[in-house]
Structures are given as C-alpha cells and as structure tokens.
Amino acid sequence: MKFFSAIYDWTLKWAEHKFAPSILALLTFAESVFFPIPPDVLLAPMVLAKPEKAWRLASLTTIASIVGGSVGYLLGYWMFEPWIQPLITDFGYQARFDTAMGWFSEWGVWVVFISVFHPYLINYSP
C-alpha cells in the first residue's frame, strides 16, 4: 500500500503545480504514443481541485490525445516495414500478427472494440 500512497502524493503534488496543465498535456500526448499510464490519474485531481477549469482541462487533454495519437499513427506508418515487421518475425509473433490482421480484415474496428473487453482475444495463441 505504501507504493500507492506515494503515487497518490505525487499526483496531488503535480495537480497543484503551476505547470500542471502543461504536464497534463505532455502526459496525455505520451500516453497516446507509447506511455501506459492514462492521463486520468492527473486530470481527476486537477478537476477536483479546480472544478471551474474542468472544461478547459478536458479540452487540453482531448487535443493532446489527438496530436499524440496522430504522431503514434505516423510513427507506425513510417516504421512498420523497416523496423517493426522484422521484430514481429524475429520474436516469433508472426502467426499471432497474421491472425489479428485476418480478424481486422474480416470484422474491421469491431475486433479492436471487442478485444478491449474480452481477455481471450488479447492472450490468443494459435
């Protein structure tokens, strides 16, 4: 429990910082590209501390997420064939990748939506 109280204290410290909106935007951008911690952990205490800024902070988070998602997409677009595809093959995930691509070809974005809620799809091994 000590670990979570340290994270809680860190979050509250940054939520009150004068650069909190900039940090929130940076965290949101990074989360959209590669970082696994969602911006909600910082956004929630910031909104609770200053409810009058809720829409401004939500808009900032939305814009930073869109920009980060766009950068992540472009990185994947440019880096897939020269760097990512060889890694998929080298690490032995080609069959899983082909299965996922087949699902995506057949069902489109629904397979992504369902995979969020169904753990079997995430841990599927052919």
Task: Report pTM.
Answer: 0.68
pLDDT tens by residue, 38-48:
888 889 888 88
54 and 101 share one domain: no
pLDDT tens by residue, 25-76:
998 999 888 877 788 888 988 888 889 999 999 999 999 999 999 999 999 9
CA-closest candidate to residue 34, choices 73, 75, 85, 72: 72
For 109, the domain range is: 92-126
101 Cβ contact list (under 8 Å, min separation 6): none
86 and 124 share one domain: no
40 and 67 share one domain: yes
Contact 25/60 with Cβ under 8 angstroms?
A: yes
Residue 107 tokens read as 């069902």
Give the number of domains in the chain: 2
59 and 17 share one domain: yes
